[in-house]
């Protein structure tokens, strides 16, 4: 099967003063490692990454690090390449930066509709929205600015939970590491699963977070809990999901009354023990569906502690609005789109 790009695909990474350093370096590293592995397979580079800014020169990030822009926005527009990918990163102070970046917004409005892929990382989605490119489109952003994006741009369908979203030629992502997930997805689309997996291994990343997955997880919730008894109970729950977990058993595990344990649990993590167990079982079921194409639904239900295929279907319908099979078709791991 032919690969998407016969030669090196141009990626223009757009930065500005105060851009998030890690959001630029992460995807840039993904594309660089992809080139390394392509060379290892005796093939030419797949990506030619350029740093672009309003003007050529050093551009300071939100850290001590700066990147040198060797191309200006005008350079890119004059040498327009409709087959390229444009990536714009986010900022910690996006609304202030947005107000100072009228020229960049206007440039995106002109160039964005013409390129093969237009990607915003984290709060970079504000630039696309300001340019009118996200009107009527579904988009992701960091959870902390999702409500602000929706309020400021009501015509955008903001998905406050997704790691990344692809809507046609527009790709948007949540914060920092989600940009790496998105870049890995781009590599997988262009050169196949095997190459993307090699890159992920180099970066010590998991190549298993589909864009529709949540920015949140029960494991993250358990890591952020400060009360030792609640934290130990959460970890114990995650290790015993296949077993019956009635309230009486949970309370007994931490030597508390059911009422006190439940109140403390809600106080610490914002949801009831029952809701935590349900979320953990849903997360386990999603993982199994993603990683095992042929595993029967009744087996997935059992390994998730849901008991029956009917209970599995009910939970997916209630929480996600789709069936387990639909989730598997959408997010399950498939064979390579292109062989190495």
- DSSP state for residue 65 in the 8-state scheme: -
| 139 Cβ contact list (under 8 Å, min separation 6) | 120, 125, 128, 129, 149, 156, 157, 158, 159, 165, 167, 170, 172
CA dist 150 and 148 (Å) reads 5
CB 194 within 8 A of CB 37: no
Q: Provide the pLDDT for residue 219.
A: 58
pTM of the model as a whole: 0.66
Tokens linked to 153: 């741009």
* Residue 102 exposure: Cα atoms within 13 Å on the Cβ side: 0
Q: Provide the pLDDT for residue 337.
A: 41
Q: Provide the pLDDT for residue 31.
A: 96
Q: Provide the pLDDT for residue 153.
A: 96
Sketch the domain layout of the chain as residue ranges: 9-202, 218-331
Whole-angstrom Cα Rg for the chain: 22
SS3 127: helix
Packing angle of the helix pair 177-191, 193-202 (nearest 10 deg): 150
CA dist 266 and 247 (Å) reads 14
Annotation: CATH topology of 9-202: Rossmann fold (3.40.50)
| 250 Cβ contact list (under 8 Å, min separation 6) | 233, 237, 258, 261, 273, 277
As beta bridge partners, residue 49 has 11
**Nearest to 297, CA basis, from 334, 331, 328, 333:** 328
Q: Provide the pLDDT for residue 231.
A: 86
SS3 2: coil
Per-residue pLDDT of the chain (340 residues; tens, 9 = 90+): 334 555 689 999 999 999 999 999 999 999 999 999 999 999 999 999 999 999 999 999 999 999 999 999 999 998 878 889 999 999 999 999 999 999 999 999 999 999 999 999 999 999 999 999 999 999 999 888 888 999 999 999 998 778 888 999 999 998 778 889 899 989 989 998 889 888 888 886 655 454 455 545 555 555 556 788 988 898 899 899 999 999 999 999 999 999 999 999 988 877 899 989 998 999 899 889 988 888 999 999 999 999 999 999 999 888 877 889 988 887 676 543 443 4
Annotation: CATH topology of 218-331: Arc Repressor Mutant, subunit A (1.10.10)
CA dist 146 and 165 (Å) reads 13
* Beta-strand relationship, 157-159 and 66-69: unpaired
CA dist 49 and 32 (Å) reads 8
| 102 Cβ contact list (under 8 Å, min separation 6) | none
What are the φ and ψ backbone dihedral angles of 82, each rounded to 5 degrees? -65, -15
Q: Provide the pLDDT for residue 137.
A: 93
Q: Provide the pLDDT for residue 335.
A: 47
CB 94 within 8 A of CB 54: no
């Amino acid at each position: 099967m032919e690969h998407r790009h016969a030669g090196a695909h141009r990626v223009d990474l757009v930065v500005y003063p105060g851009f998030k350093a890690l959001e630029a370096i992460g995807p840039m590293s993904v594309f660089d490692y992809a080139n390394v592995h392509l060379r290892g397979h005796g093939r030419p580079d797949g990506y030619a990454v350029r740093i672009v800014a309003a003007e050529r020169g050093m551009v300071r990030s939100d850290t001590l690090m700066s990147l040198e822009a060797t191309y200006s926005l005008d350079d890119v527009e004059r040498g327009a390449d409709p087959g390229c990918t444009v990536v714009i990163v986010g900022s910690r102070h996006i609304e202030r930066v947005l107000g100072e970046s009228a020229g960049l917004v206007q440039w995106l409005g002109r160039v964005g509709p013409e390129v093969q892929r237009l990607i915003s990382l984290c709060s970079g989605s504000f630039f696309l929205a300001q340019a009118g490119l996200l009107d009527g489109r579904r988009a992701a952003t960091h959870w902390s600015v999702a409500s602000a994006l929706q309020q400021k741009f009501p015509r955008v369908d903001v998905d406050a939970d997704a790691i990344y979203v692809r809507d046609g030629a527009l790709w948007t992502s949540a914060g920092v590491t989600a940009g790496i997930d998105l870049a890995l997805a781009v590599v997988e689309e262009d050169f196949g699963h095997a190459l993307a997996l090699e890159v992920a291994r180099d970066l010590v990343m998991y190549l298993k977070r589909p864009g529709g997955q949540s920015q949140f997880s029960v494991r993250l919730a358990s890591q952020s809990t400060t009360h030792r008894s609640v934290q130990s109970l959460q970890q114990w729950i995650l290790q015993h999901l296949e077993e019956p977990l009635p309230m009486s058993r949970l309370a007994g595990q931490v030597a508390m009354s059911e009422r006190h344990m439940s109140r403390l649990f809600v106080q610490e993590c914002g949801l009831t023990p029952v809701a935590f167990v349900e979320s953990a079982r849903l997360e386990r079921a999603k993982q199994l569906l993603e990683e095992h194409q042929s595993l029967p639904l009744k087996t997935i239900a059992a390994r998730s502690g849901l008991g029956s295929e009917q209970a599995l279907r009910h939970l997916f319908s209630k929480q996600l609005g789709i069936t387990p099979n639909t989730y598997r078709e959408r997010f399950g791991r498939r064979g390579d789109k292109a062989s190495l």
